[in-house]
């Protein structure tokens, strides 16, 4: 299958899987991660763009917070149905499995493709979009503002120092500063 057609097909597949999610893990998130990954990959010419692209788009296809399945069955179903070789499928699955913050805390992916997609996903968790996603997720799970703010300290403010690639680190500096300014203002307003 043509690369462009394959990407479009993956977008449509993921949109169908995530259509009922309003807590920050929707198709818009997957597309932002894909675009972040493409931008990071520009400075990593040795990477396999097909692996990066498909892993970025499919990274939440089997997320444990959204699905109760095993062995990446949704991602595998798409890949096998798209004519991706078993070897390439395993490369993509390995990258997908290296993305989750909670499951991979402190672990660096073994491949440049894994580093790129992990960084791309983590960039979407910080900055203005990270703030919006945190409160969308919190609202969907009936968390208070204060409980959602705790997520900043448990995860978001740690991300900048755990990124892998130079391009992601550069973008993270700006987004991290925005998080810190937001938290400072929010804490002032909460104390009023």
pLDDT at position 2: 86
Residue 52 in this model has a pLDDT that exceeds 90: yes
Looking at the structure of the chain, the number of domains it has is: 1
Contacts of 129 (CB under 8 A, 6+ apart): 32
Of 76 and 26, the structure prediction assigns the larger pLDDT to 76
Q: Each residue of 130-139: pLDDT tens digit? A: 999 999 889 8
The whole-model pTM stands at 0.93
Q: Are 147 and 138 in contact (CB under 8 A)?
A: yes
Q: Which CATH number characterizes residue 105's domain?
A: 1.10.3210.50
Task: Report CA Rg, the chain.
Answer: 17
Q: Residue 25 sits in which domain range?
A: 3-191
Q: Alpha helices, DSSP H only, in the chain?
A: 3-17, 27-41, 49-58, 73-81, 86-96, 101-104, 112-123, 127-140, 145-151, 157-159, 166-191
pLDDT at position 33: 97
pLDDT at position 43: 96
CA 188 to chain centre: 30
Q: Each residue of 91-130: pLDDT tens digit? A: 999 999 999 887 777 788 999 999 999 999 999 999 999 9
Percent of the chain at pLDDT exceeding 90: 76
pLDDT at position 1: 66
């Amino acid at each position: 299958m043509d690369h462009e057609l394959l990407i479009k097909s993956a977008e449509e597949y993921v949109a169908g899987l995530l259509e009922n999610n309003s807590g920050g893990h929707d198709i818009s998130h997957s597309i932002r991660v894909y675009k972040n990954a493409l931008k990071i990959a520009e400075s990593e010419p040795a990477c396999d763009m097909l692996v990066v692209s498909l892993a970025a788009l499919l990274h939440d296809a089997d997320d444990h917070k959204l699905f109760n399945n095993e062995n990446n069955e949704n991602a595998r179903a798409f890949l096998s149905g798209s004519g991706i070789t078993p070897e390439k499928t395993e490369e993509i699955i390995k990258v997908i499995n290296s993305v989750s913050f909670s499951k991979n805390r402190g672990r660096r992916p073994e491949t440049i493709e894994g580093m790129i997609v992990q960084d791309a996903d983590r960039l979407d968790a910080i900055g203005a979009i990270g703030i919006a996603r945190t409160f969308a997720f919190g609202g969907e799970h009936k968390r208070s503002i204060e409980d959602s703010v705790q997520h900043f300290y448990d995860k978001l403010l740690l991300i900048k120092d755990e990124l892998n690639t130079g391009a992601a680190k550069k973008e993270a500096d700006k987004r991290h500063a925005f998080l810190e300014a937001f938290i400072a203002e929010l804490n002032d307003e909460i104390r009023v």
